[in-house]
Amino acid sequence: MSFKKIIGASALAIGALFGSSVAQAVAVDLELVLLADVSGSLDQTDFDQQRQGYSNAFRSAAVQNAILGSSGTGKIAVTLVYWSDGQSIAVDWQLIDSAASASAFADAIDAAPRSSGGSTGMANALNFGAGLFDDNGFESNRLTIDVSGDGSDSVSCNFAVLNCVPVQNARNAFLSGAGIRNINAIWIDDRDFFGDDASDTINALSYGTTNVIGGSTGFQIMTQDFEDFQSAVVTKLEREITNETPEPGSLALFGAALAALAYRRRRAST
C-alpha cells in the first residue's frame, strides 16, 4: 500500500472516531504529470508552439472523448510542470471530468507564464514530478509521468553521453512505487545533437529507452519539430488515458509520417 493510501485510510479512521467529516481523495482513472521542457534551447517560438500544442490537445475531441469514454470513472487528474535546471508548477492539479473542465485546463495552460530557461535537468525534473502524486487530492491505480524535451540531461550528466545514471535512478525510483506506473516521452528533433538522424550526437529514442521511459505500457514518440508537436501530443495523451499498448512499429510509423509532413512543408516554403 502506498504512503498516500495509508494516510488516506488513517484519516478516514480518525474522522469516523470523532464524528467529523474528512475530505476523501477523488477517484480518477489516471493521475498524470506533464513535464514540459522550457530549457534555454527553446526559443520563444518553440515555447509558444509547445504550449499551444498542449492546450489544443486538451481542447480536441479525441482527447476529451478518451477521458469521458473510459469504462472507469470517466475522470483524470492532470498537472503541468515547466522544467529546465529547476522546476515550476505551471498549472496545478485539476480534475478533468467533462469537455468544459478539459477546456478550462487548456485555458490555464495558455495563461501560465514561462519559467526562466536554463540547462536541461531531466533527472531533477523526474524526481520533482514523482513527488507530486502524494497528497494531491486524487486517487488512482495508474500514475503516469509524461516528459517532453529536445535534449539530453546536461545538469546531472554530460549532454553528449548516452548513458545517464541519475536519470535512470530517477526513473527506477518512481517505477518501483505502488500501482501501475509509466513514464512516457515525446522528443522534439530540432537540434543538431539530439534526434533520430544518423548525424546526431545522441539518438533521442536510444536515450529515452536507456534512461527515461519505463513501465508496462511506457512508450516514446519522436516528432520532427515543434510545429508537429500538437499531432504527436494528441496521440500520446489518447494512449496514456486509454492505457493502450502500442502495436509494434506503430509509433515509429507515426514518427516517420511526421517527418514526411515536415519535409513536405519545408519543400513548400522554399
What is the pLDDT averaged over residues 133-144?
97
- Phi and psi at residue 182, in whole multiples of 5°? -140, 150
DSSP class per residue in 213-247: -BSTT--EEEESSGGGHHHHHHHHHHHHHHTPPPP
At 112 the pLDDT is: 96
Residue 16 located in a structural domain: no
Residue 228 located in a structural domain: yes
Handedness of CA 143, 122, 214, 241 (dihedral sign): positive
- The alpha-helical segments, DSSP class H, found in the chain are 3-18, 44-59, 61-68, 99-111, 122-130, 165-175, 204-207, 229-242, 250-269
- Give per-residue pLDDT as tens, 161-202: 999 999 999 999 999 999 999 999 999 987 788 999 888 999
**Around Cβ 74, how many Cβ atoms within 10 Å?**
14
Kindly tell me if the per-residue pLDDT of 221 is higher than 80. Answer: yes
Kindly tell me if the per-residue pLDDT of 13 is higher than 90. Answer: no
Q: 137: domain range? A: 24-269
- Give per-residue pLDDT as tens, 30-89: 999 999 999 998 899 999 999 999 999 999 999 999 999 988 999 999 999 999 999 999
Residue 3 located in a structural domain: no
Q: Going by C-beta distance under 8 Å and a sequence separation of 6 or more, which residues neighbour residue 259?
A: 224
- Determine the Cα–Cα distance for residues 133 and 93; give it in Å rounded to an integer: 9
DSSP state of 131: G
- Determine the Cα–Cα distance for residues 83 and 143; give it in Å rounded to an integer: 19
- Determine the Cα–Cα distance for residues 120 and 80; give it in Å rounded to an integer: 17
Q: Return the closest-CA partner of residue 229 out of 17, 3, 42.
A: 42
Q: What is the CATH number of the domain that holds 182?
A: 3.40.50.410
- Give per-residue pLDDT as tens, 140-162: 999 999 999 999 999 999 999 99
Q: Between 262 and 156, where is the model more confident?
A: 156
Kindly tell me if the per-residue pLDDT of 259 is higher than 90. Answer: no
Q: What confidence category does residue 246 fall into, taking pLDDT thresholds of 50, 70 and 90?
A: low
Look at the chain and report how many structural domains it folds into.
Answer: 1
- Determine the Cα–Cα distance for residues 249 and 46; give it in Å rounded to an integer: 28
Kindly tell me if the per-residue pLDDT of 255 is higher than 70. Answer: no
Q: What confidence category does residue 2 fall into, taking pLDDT thresholds of 50, 70 and 90?
A: low
Q: Is 236 exposed, middle or buried (0-12, 13-18, 19+ CB in 10 A)?
A: buried
For the chain, give the number of residues. Answer: 270
At 114 the pLDDT is: 94
Residue 17 located in a structural domain: no
Kindly tell me if the per-residue pLDDT of 256 is higher than 90. Answer: no
Residue 260 located in a structural domain: yes
Q: What confidence category does residue 1 fall into, taking pLDDT thresholds of 50, 70 and 90?
A: low
Residue 7 located in a structural domain: no
Residue 32 located in a structural domain: yes
At 97 the three-state DSSP class reads coil
- Phi and psi at residue 67, in whole multiples of 5°? -70, -55
Mean pLDDT, the chain, whole residue set: 85
Handedness of CA 67, 35, 115, 138 (dihedral sign): positive
Q: Return the closest-CA partner of residue 147 out of 215, 97, 245, 56.
A: 215
Residue 179 located in a structural domain: yes
- Determine the Cα–Cα distance for residues 224 and 228; give it in Å rounded to an integer: 7
- Phi and psi at residue 92, in whole multiples of 5°? -70, 170
Q: What confidence category does residue 209 fall into, taking pLDDT thresholds of 50, 70 and 90?
A: very high
pTM: predicted TM-score of the whole model, two decimal places: 0.83
At 19 the pLDDT is: 44
